[in-house]
Chains A and B, each alone.
Chain A
């Protein structure tokens, strides 16, 4: 298993910028996820995709826009973010039994 790859690993952006995070999994899983990890807070599930279809949006602000063109790729498009959106964004895929395989994360800093 070659895992889950996230790019970029680090991103600094201003509040008016538009950027995207990319995730690719080579595990043959059909489900992919975006999680947010902020300091002093538990992991927060943001979005769930199954077979390219979004099945969960956990009340995420519209300045975060996910895209899943196929079962192996997942994007998170970012625009007009706020400083409080600075966090580690983790992509994961899962088997049907639920164990998650995470990428190394994209560390986002919003200035």
Chain B
């Protein structure tokens, strides 16, 4: 069975500082990996995805993530955080190229607070 662990429940960073959110996954085959962001009262928005190829993937809003197969990790990074990045972030692993491809398993989420 697939699973996702986000070790950090809550992270606080200062505006302009760098950010790294951790994600570890368990999956029997090549994983399809995603990061989503959720602002209060909103649905989830896709930040970036990894299917194959280059292990460093770029996403929207200046985010990037690196897939490390040896560590079963897919950590999200941003070099300089803006106050508008305060939100909850979810890592997810999906079933891949499949009719039920959106049947993803989500981590518990990491809440990001940005200090002025």
Instruction: Please give the residue numbers on chain A whose beta carbons come within 8 Å of chain B beta carbons, in ascending order.
Output: 4, 6, 31, 33, 41-43, 45, 48, 50, 55-56, 90, 92-105, 107
Contact = CB atoms under 8 A, between A and B. Distances in A.
B58 interface: no
Contacts of A56: 100, 103
A99 B46 contact: yes
Majority-rule SS of A interface residues = strand
A33 B101 CA distance: 11
Contacts of B106: 42-43
Given A31-B102, A99-B102, 14 more contacts: A31-B99, A42-B107, A42-B108, A90-B43, A92-B102, A96-B98, A97-B96, A98-B95, A98-B98, A98-B103, A100-B44, A100-B92, A104-B42, A107-B41
Interface in B66-116: 90, 92, 94-104, 106-109
Contact of B99 (A55, A99, A103, A104): A55
B46 A100 contact: yes
A75 B18 CA distance: 42
Interface residues of B, number: 28
B103 A45 contact: yes
Contacts of B26: none
A45 B103 CA distance: 7
